Structure 1
């Protein structure tokens, strides 16, 4: 069940929900949020740190997935009127990059929360563009506190 009434595209608000700050931000929209799922969006700018020869690089796709997990935690904390914690990628399993998108493309990243206990979150993530899967992984993230 989507707990959002409408898409959130206020970049300043979204940036307040994640620990990353420009130029390292890789989410600019929130499309779906539930207890166990989130879908974020990101339009790749031409001057991004992970753009090379007009392509968004694999580390950017992996970080986009991790930031979508952080956005889930941050938005959940916002709803609970708590401060969003800082988190880290603890492990990446089964990462697969199938294609590198071009500048200007709109990414849609979906994350399924598989387990979330004691500050450790195990997720399955997928980055798509126009319905085509570009990357997928399983990862663990850990909260700093």
Structure 2
């Protein structure tokens, strides 16, 4: 008889080609919910941990960049003050903005001598060379290298 499994003792023995019926165990619906809740909780915890690590990296990196920028700006202001190359009638913030504008112009391809002339003409003072030098040294050091 094909498909009929012989019995060994009281247990059926599967025969090649025959269907083996297995009893399916069904969990209590309450157990299913608890298992799903645990999976969701673990997923949530892992996602939160990853987010906190990423956020911490951005905050710490941003604070480091800000501190470096603040030090560069302070050094720039010190250098132009020592060399008497401060812009007449401008505040410290306005001089920092002008220094970054000088960096932007030079980065866009304006020749250094043309930028020196533009700074002297726009701000009506004769220390454009020292101002541009201080800006390139402190505010855009990649340009000077």
Larger Rg, first or second structure (1 or 2): 2
Same fold by TM-score greater than 0.5: no
Bigger helix fraction: 2
TM-score (norm 1): 0.25
TM-score normalised to structure 2 length: 0.25
Structure (1/2) with the larger strand percentage: 1
